[in-house]
Amino acid sequence: MATNAQKTVALIINMAEKHRTTAIFGTDIVNAMTFRLLLLLLLLTSFCGFSPPPSATPPQATLSGHHKLIMTQAAPVSPAGGWRLVRTPGPQNSGDVVSIMHTADTITSDPEFAGLLIRCRSNARLQIGFITITPFHPRSHPKVAVTAGSATTRFQGDVLPPGSLIALPNEAEALARGPWLSAAQLTVDIDGDNVKIHGVTSLEGLPAAISQLQASCP
């Protein structure tokens, strides 16, 4: 039986297919960016183990409930940089999970690439990850190449449930606190499960966004 997170991802993938033309051809960039932001927010709740209370409401209405809950907890961090600070309920009453995120550049990214996620961990540490529309197998370890400026770093990523978050190892935190702070954008190439995904996301405003994130970490 599918979990709530898997059902949520299935609904999101269906939404992604309906919006694929906009994302590829860029005929309506504003709508495409809004969709990707919404996608990031919805996926984020799945990663945190959040599920709505039992209800007889049809699936589409339940998804709309997700929209209302999440959007009230997302706020701009740096208007110039387009970062969002997001609080979502953690699994099993473990407290809020606090993250910052940035959507993909819709013109230069593959439609399967949603954006960059940085979230709080214990002991003031940060976790770096990338969100994809198409889930990877939970046991796979995609190869991830990240390029900021002229420097490219390669990692072996970990796929976190329900499969659409590719988490980088702990060493990636040093990049987010170092070279990425002065870079204009981040180029990402993910290779795994016979799937290759290319993405680009802006790093403008990252220093302020990380400062806001750390000030908000539980």
Lowest mean pLDDT of 39-53, 124-138, 201-215, name the range: 39-53
Cα distance between residue 179 and residue 181, in whole Å: 5
Tell me phi and psi for residue 169, to 5 degrees.
-65, 170
Work out the average pLDDT over 63-70: 36
Work out the average pLDDT over 143-166: 93
pLDDT of residue 43: 55
pLDDT digits (tens, 9 = 90+) for 68-78: 333 335 566 65
Counting the structural domains of the chain, the total is 1
Q: According to the per-residue pLDDT averaged within each range, which of 68-72, 99-103, 118-122, 199-203 is highest?
A: 199-203
What's 171's domain CATH number? Answer: 2.60.40.1880
Question: How many Cα atoms are found within 13 Å in the side-chain-facing hemisphere of 7?
Answer: 14
Lowest mean pLDDT of 2-6, 35-39, 94-98, 148-152, name the range: 2-6
Tell me the pTM. Answer: 0.72
- pLDDT higher than threshold 60 for residue 126: yes
Q: Which residue has the tokens 């984020």?
A: 44
Work out the average pLDDT over 116-128: 89
Q: Is the peptide bond before 142 cis (omega within 30 degrees of 0)?
A: no
DSSP string across 99-159: EEEEE--TTTS-TTEEEEEEEE-GGG-EEEEEEESSPPPTT---EEEEEETTEEEEEE-EE
Higher pLDDT, 124 or 132: 132
**92 burial level (CB within 10 Å; 0-12, 13-18, 19+):** exposed
Work out the average pLDDT over 64-87: 58
Higher pLDDT, 87 or 39: 87
Domain encompassing residue 172: 4-216
CB atoms within 10 A of CB 93: 6
Lowest mean pLDDT of 45-54, 81-90, 94-103, name the range: 45-54
Work out the average pLDDT over 175-194: 95
- pLDDT higher than threshold 80 for residue 200: yes
Work out the average pLDDT over 79-95: 73
